[in-house]
A and B are shown apart, each in its own frame.
Chain A
Amino acid sequence: MNLFDFAGYGDEIWRGVMLTLGVGGGALVVAVLFGLLGAAGKLSNHWMTQKLAFLYTTLVRGIPELVLIIVLYYGVPTLVQNLVRLSVPGYRLDFNPVVTAVVVIGLIYGAFMTEVFRGAFLAVPGGQMEAARAFGMSRFKTFWRIHMPQMWRFALPGIGNVWMVLIKATALVSVIGLKDTLYWSGKAGEALHEPFKFLLIAAMIFLGITFVSEQLFRYAESRAQRGVEKVRH
């Protein structure tokens, strides 16, 4: 069993890895957006937005990813298509499977990002915002120039944790028929009667992604902390 002999499946697996990274990266961006929205909802003073944000995180955290992915992936486009067909007769709206997967995974991990951002927003010292308000900055300007930039430093470790879970969850898109790393490794293993070898390759690819991500986030964190005095024990 030579792990480096891809038997002609190297380019397919490579395309699969690109899809995995693409779906993962796209979903991370969507998750950050939903996370910011969710955190804004939880921290708002309005009971409606608060309740909505809590409902969102509770449903997502209480239900397995696989169930959510399958329900949202097959359910929501059909629901939207039916609505479109009712409102505009004869029009058919088509969903790109990759984009749908990105949005679905982003929506799921947005719930976990909500917690990260909520904590990060609360971690910024209140005096900062008071000072900005005292200078006559508007509420929006205070948020945009003072609160938001400082929040990222506190959010970074949490974003890293969510990313590690998110990238591994993208392996589930092979179940809904997307041609990712796991899909192509499975196909290659089946065709060549070497399922263990090719699945092991897929596992090692994910291990590589996790390892590189870990280093990148460690570097990003140390850069984000460069203005902060280190406490010596």
Chain B
Amino acid sequence: MDFELIAKSFPALMTGAGMTLLLTIISAPLGLALALPLAIARLSKRSWLRRPAHAFIYVFRGTPLLIQLYLVYFGLGQFHDTLKAWGIWWFFRDELYCALFVLVLNTGAYSAEIFRGAIAGVPAGHIEAALAAGMSWFTRLRRIILPSAFRIAWPAYTNEVVFLMQATSLVSLLTVTELFRSAKIIAVRTFDIYSMYITVGLIYLVISYGIILAFGMVEKHLMRHTRQPGGKKSLHQRAFAVLTR
């Protein structure tokens, strides 16, 4: 381990880590915004809503993210003229937009599956009570189903966001300079693979820990009406337990 090199390249790595965080922070909420309607459609009684949602989720969960990224970034070049005529080529020409586009669709599909399970797990009695109280479909969803579903889904959704953050490393192959690519550039120049990649591995671990910690705080807020799971353990102890599980 060449600590001098690590110290010297630390600013570049931090810029890369910033990009990794930016990719995660943009695609996670957008993916969630896509996932909720998808999950609701997936559970719908109407087949024209349920089938397309199912197909979308199945295709995005059934194919590798790397192929999805290549398909949009390299593949859409095949339709360059058409996309230009439609006036959307500026979007698919840019590696960062392509990356975000695919990450949102991908995490949307995975999160939809998590929220589908959570919505189906809302106790039937709660929904019956809401019906008996005369709540409309939307009020039921907003006041009864979604709050419960978020509580059920939160631990699994935390995992999904950690995976999403780690998956942003694939975006380096579209030449987006995030954490991994910033290390690769230095490793290729200095031939010091070990120092750079071990440092990067540790930075990824720290970011994973940070995400678990932040999501733990939200979980504490979501579960404030119950006795806290894990008893008197601090948020840090709980996050550490999740990371080293």
Contacts and interface: CB of A to CB of B under 8 A. Distances in A.
Q: Give the size category of B's interface with A.
A: 35 or more
B66 to A, nearest CB: 5
Interface in A186-205: 186, 189, 193-197, 199-200, 202-203
Contacts of B223: none
Given A57-B244, A193-B78, A196-B76, A203 B208 contact: no
A196 B75 contact: yes
A122 to B, nearest CB: 14
B208 A210 contact: no
Contact of B67 (A61, A65, A70, A171): A171
B144 to A, nearest CB: 24
Main secondary structure of the interface of A (DSSP, over half): helix
Interface residues of A, number: 40
B63 A62 contact: no
A70 B64 CA distance: 18
B97 interface: no
Contact of A169 (B61, B64, B180, B244): B64
B115 interface: no
Contact of A196 (B68, B71, B245): B71
Contacts of B209: 62
Q: Is the interface of B mostly helix, strand, loop or mixed?
A: helix
A175 B208 contact: no
B201 A71 contact: yes
B156 to A, nearest CB: 13
A48 interface: no
B18 interface: no
Contacts of A211: 62
Interface in A42-91: 54, 57-59, 61-68, 70-71, 74-75, 78
B75 A75 contact: no
A62 B205 contact: yes
A199 B244 contact: no
Contact of B64 (A68, A171, A195, A200): A171
B89 interface: no
B59 to A, nearest CB: 7
Contacts of B78: 193-197
Contact of B63 (A71, A175, A186, A207): A207
A58 B67 CA distance: 27
B152 interface: no
B90 to A, nearest CB: 19
Contacts of A116: none
B122 interface: no
A217 interface: no
Contact of A66 (B67, B77, B180, B245): B180
Interface of B: 58-59, 61-68, 70-71, 74-79, 166-167, 169-170, 172-173, 180, 193-194, 197-198, 200-201, 204-205, 208-209, 243-245
Given A62-B243, A68-B201, 18 more contacts: A54-B244, A59-B201, A64-B169, A64-B204, A67-B200, A67-B204, A168-B63, A171-B67, A186-B74, A195-B70, A195-B78, A196-B76, A196-B79, A197-B78, A199-B67, A199-B75, A206-B64, A207-B62
15 contacts: A58-B205, A58-B243, A59-B205, A64-B180, A65-B166, A66-B169, A168-B63, A168-B64, A189-B74, A194-B78, A195-B77, A197-B78, A200-B75, A202-B67, A203-B67
